[in-house]
Amino acid sequence: MPPATGMGLVGPLTTATWMAPRMADLLPSSVGMPFRYLPKCYNGALDYYDFSRDSVFPRKNDPLEQFVTLPIWCSGFSALGARVPLWGDGLFVGIDMSPARFLCFGGCLRGFSMQVALLSRIFIAFGVLAAFGAIDAGAFAGGCTSPTVVMIVPDHEENTFWGPYTRFTRAAAADLGIDLRLVFAEPNDRFDYLERFIEVQAAYPPADYVAVFAYFAGLPQVLELAQRTGNKVVTFNSGISDTDRVIVGTPRTRFSNWILHSQAADLEAGRLQASAIVGRARKMFGLSKTETVRVTALGGNLTTGASLERRDGLAAFFSAGDLPETVNQFVFANWDYERGFYTAKGLFQRYPETHAVWTASFDLGRAAIDAWRAVRPGKPLPIVGTISGGWDARAFEMMERKELDVVLGGHFSEGAWLMALIQDYDSGLDFIDEVGTELYFPLELAGPGNFERIRETFRVRDWDRIDFKRLSKCHRPLLERYDFSLRNLLR
C-alpha cells in the first residue's frame, strides 16, 4: 500500500512519519540496495508501489549495485516546517528541519535522472546529520531570508560610476529577493551624507541592514549611531583612514553590529595604472633606460579612501622603480570633469614635457585629454590611463580611437556581492571563516591587447539575465567557496 498521506513518489509529500526505532537496522544494510526494484520505469512487472522493508532492502541472491540511477524528487513543505524524506521501515522517514527546504531523491521522473554512488548511504547519513543539528537549516534555498537593506550612495545616480554600480546592485537584490532601498547623497559632501544616514536611522520600521560609504572622519559617528539603533552595518567602496581606524577598529570588534567592510583594491589599482602607462610611454616616445618618463597626475579628493589609496599606489610604484621616471605634479581634482579640465590645463602649461597622464577616474581621464588638446592643439596625446569602475562604454570608444591607453575597472559589481553576503549572513550562513570581515575586490586592466574582449562582454548590459543566486551559498548549498571575480559573475 502507498503512504496514507502525500501524493506518492512523484510530487510533493506534505507529511511523513519518523520511524526512529528501526534506524539502527537501516544503517548497516543500506549499501548496495537494488533500488531498481522500486520505480515502475525500471520494473515493468510492478503493479503497485511496495513500501515494505522487504522491498527496499537487498534479497540474498541479488548482486550489489554500486551505482544506481534515480531521478530527483522535491518534497513539499508547509510554512511551519519541512520534512526530509529518507528510506525507512515502511514509509518515508521525515525529519523536521523548519524552515529549511531540502532536495530529495526518490521516485521515477523520466528524463531527469542522475548517477548517485552508494545513494542509500548518503540518504541515511544526511538524515542522521540533520536529526542531530549538524546541518544548518539556513543552508538550503528554502531557508533564505529576505532582509531589508538601505544603501546610502555618496553621489547622484547619473554619475558615471555610481549609475552602473546601483543598477547592478538593484538587479542582484531583485533576483535574490532582498528588499533594497537606495538613498542618494550630494557628491563629495560627508555632512550631507551624515544627514541622509540620520534620516534612514529615524525611519520606521528600521532597515535590517544599512550599507554606508566610509567617508573619512564620518565613519565613527555613523557606527556610533547605528550601534544605538541596532542596525547591522556594512561599509563599502572606500578605504578607512588611519585616524578612523584608531577609533573604530575592525568589523565585529568595537562595533559588534558592523559585520563587514568592502572596497576595491585601490592601492593596487593605482600602482598597476602607473606601471602600465610608464611602460607604454617609454615605448611610444622611444625613451631609453637612461631617459626619464615624466608623468602628470590628477587625483580624486582628500576625504575618500579610494582617492588616497590610488594616489598611494601611484607613489609606491615610483618609489620602487629601477628606471628614471618621475611625477611632474599630483593634484586633487575632486573627481569632477570641470575641475579636472581646468586643473589639467594649468598642469600641461606648466609641464609641456608630459609623456603620460595618470588619472583617478574616467571623468578625470576625459578632462585630461580635452585639456591637452586645448593647451597643445595638434600635438600627439601623451599616454593616458584611468579607472572606470563601471566600464563606461565611452572608455572603450576612446581606447578604439587611441585616446585612452589603459583603463582599469569592474568593481561596480561590489554591490551585488554585498547583497549575496548580507543574505547569507542573515540566513545563518556567516561568511567570516572564508572571507573574514574585510573584503578587497581586484580591478581588471584593459589595454590594447584585451579591451575588445572586455568591451564585448559589456556590450549588452542586461543585468536581469544574470543568475545572481549563483553567488549565494544560501541559494546554492553546494557552493564551497565564493568566487569574487567578475568573469565568474558574468559567465
Distance CA 112, CA 105 (A): 11
Distance CA 164, CA 4 (A): 55
Question: Backbone dihedral region of 59: left (phi > 0), alpha (psi from -120 to 50 degrees) or beta?
Answer: beta
Cell of 319: 618609489
Burial of 18 (0-12, 13-18, 19+ CB in 10 A): middle
pLDDT digits (tens, 9 = 90+) for 68-98: 333 333 333 333 333 333 333 333 333 333 3
Query: CATH 3.40.50.2300 region(s) of the chain?
Result: 144-264+412-441+460-490, 267-388
Q: Which residue, among 270, 269, 238, 262, has the nearest Cα to 443 in the 3D structure?
A: 269
- What is the structure's pLDDT at 39? 57
Answer yes or no: is pLDDT of 36 > 50. no
Report the top-level CATH class of 267-388. Answer: alpha beta
Taking residue 115's Cβ as centre, other Cβ atoms within 10 Å add up to 9
Taking residue 449's Cβ as centre, other Cβ atoms within 10 Å add up to 7
Lowest mean pLDDT across 171-175, 427-431, 446-450: 446-450
Contacts of 367 (CB under 8 A, 6+ apart): 298, 333, 337, 338, 339, 340, 341, 343, 344, 359
CATH number at 144-264+412-441+460-490: 3.40.50.2300
Q: Where is 86: in which H helix or E strand? A: none
- Axis-axis angle for helices 266-284, 305-320 (nearest 10): 50
- The CA-atom distances, in angstroms, between 223 and each of 215, 344, 412, 425, 429 are 12, 38, 24, 19, 23
Q: What's the farthest any 2 CA atoms get from each other in the chain?
A: 95
- What is the structure's pLDDT at 284? 96
Q: Give the residue, 93 or 331, on which the prediction is more confident.
A: 331
